[in-house]
Amino acid sequence: MSTPSKEKEVKKAPAKQEEVASVKGMRDLIGKEYYDFQGFMEKAAEISHYYGFKPIETPVLENTEIFTGSVGEGTDIVDKEMYAFKTRGGDQVALRPEGTAPIMRAYLENGMVSWPQPVMLYYSGTFYRHERPQRGRHREFRQFGLEVIGSEKSIGDAMVIKTFITVLAEAGVKDVVVDINSIGDKECRGAYRRALLAYYKKRLPQVCADCKNRFKTNPLRMLDCKAEQCQPIKKAAPDTISYLCPACKQHFKEVLEYLETLGIEYRINNALVRGLDYYSRTVFEFITREEVIEEGKEPTTLETVIGGGGRYDYLAKALGSKKDVPGVGGALGVDRILLLKDLVELAPRIIKKPKIFFIQLGFEAKLHSMAIIEILRKARIPIAQSLSKDGLGVQLATAERSKIPYTIILGQKEVIEKSVIVRNMDTRSQETVPVEKLAEYVKKLK
């Protein structure tokens, strides 16, 4: 085989711009956007800790059946949106489209059933759904989630909602309302299902093709339909609350009582069934409302679903547990939240405003620069630098542009004398400080 000629190699490069694009619907987080996500996740984790939640991280890949058996065949997430594939070893795996089924899997697999109940967990990470990308809808997106597993008490539902509301308030999300509904349990679902089928049977010719299908496979999903033609039919459909058994009615009443006592604004939404099959009893969504003003038009209110959740008392059995394990939880769509206006800037803990700009002059100084930075790091003094730059002028200019109050200047003379110059950028006064006293000296600076 002949080696390619130099000429041919040259022709191949450089790669075209589109050849180095990320996968459609997935993006890089860089700079401020990265810090915004990190800051939000840290704040959410901190608040959740106060409410008693502990962290968990599960793998991004799960066996596909974790989702098909729980989120449910017949749901958009499983049927149309899941990134599922066969590995080289022949395993059927899927990129997680959501976090609840994997966490219940982890609960069962790790014997959390023998821990004090309920087990309260929080998590954050990336999730994957093959949806049509648009503003606030990505194929790789980020959630912050909470799960309370091992108790069917209504206070669990309230605790999840309250913790999320607190996170949203701390992030500066304004005008949030909780849409809430109860879809009942095994007891009441049968009667409701029959009523729904009877109602839709008469109207089948008018509904969309998807609903005709759902009528046979998963009738509750008809209430989740977004097609224009199905909306009036959906609106007049029987509501789940009228069919609740006494135990479910009581549970729902208690959840609403908690919300009222906590001063959380809610709307009972009879059409809310959610797009995942594992729910029972309480289901909820967090909706933000923003006024949209377009020239020459009446102002309209834009509603965005920034999170959702509910109770999943039968999920454990669907995953293979011998016993039912009740649970309740939810997740916030962080990509959507960070698009909202007037948020509070939540800086991540690692970001500290630098007090010092470190300047080095000459190779000798460069050689010693990292030892000085290490002294400052150990003393927890945040600094900025541009170690790859050489001249004094360019480094001073950077320090001035960044509005950092002090600079440390290390030149050849200072290296020999084991000292540095500390310069006040405001008054331009400067002082020579021995390296061994540097940390102490800088700490005292305002």
> Which of these ranges, 94-102, 204-212, 229-237, 253-261, lies near ligand HAM under the rule CB under 6 A?
94-102
Told to check if 39 binds ligand HAM by CB under 6 A, we report: no
CA distance 98 to 117: 23
Closest residue to bound ligand HAM by CB: 333
Told to check if 330 binds ligand HAM by CB under 6 A, we report: yes
Told to check if 102 binds ligand HAM by CB under 6 A, we report: no
Q: Identify each DSSP E strand in 129-236 by its residue range.
A: 140-149, 176-182
Of 338, 39, 54, 46, give the one whose Cα is nearest residue 166.
46
Told to check if 147 binds ligand HAM by CB under 6 A, we report: yes
Q: Which of 72/308 has CB closer to ligand HAM?
A: 308
> Which of these ranges, 118-126, 129-137, 251-259, 412-420, lies near ligand HAM under the rule CB under 6 A?
129-137
| Residue reference for tokens 């093709």 | 209
Q: Which of 275/382 has CB closer to ligand HAM?
A: 275
Which residue among 333, 383, 408, 422 contacts ligand HAM (CB under 6 A)? 333
Adjacent-strand bridge partners of 328: 148, 311
> Which of these ranges, 11-19, 133-141, 219-227, 384-392, lies near ligand HAM under the rule CB under 6 A?
133-141
Q: Which of 96/368 has CB closer to ligand HAM?
A: 96
| Number of neighbouring beta carbons within 10 Å of residue 254 | 16
Cα distances (Å, whole numbers) of residue 177 to 192, 261, 399, 424: 27, 15, 46, 50
- Kindly give, in sequence order, each residue whose CB lies less than 8 Å from that of residue 445, ignoring residues fewer than 6 positions away: 355, 405, 406, 422
Told to check if 185 binds ligand HAM by CB under 6 A, we report: no
Told to check if 131 binds ligand HAM by CB under 6 A, we report: yes
The full length of the chain comes to 446
Q: Which of 118/307 has CB closer to ligand HAM?
A: 307
Told to check if 138 binds ligand HAM by CB under 6 A, we report: yes
Told to check if 129 binds ligand HAM by CB under 6 A, we report: yes
Told to check if 157 binds ligand HAM by CB under 6 A, we report: no
Distance of CA 147 to the CA centre of its chain: 14
| Number of neighbouring beta carbons within 10 Å of residue 217 | 12
Which residue among 165, 223, 272, 331 contacts ligand HAM (CB under 6 A)? 331
Adjacent-strand bridge partners of 84: 94
Residue 60 is encoded by which pair of tokens? 């991004």
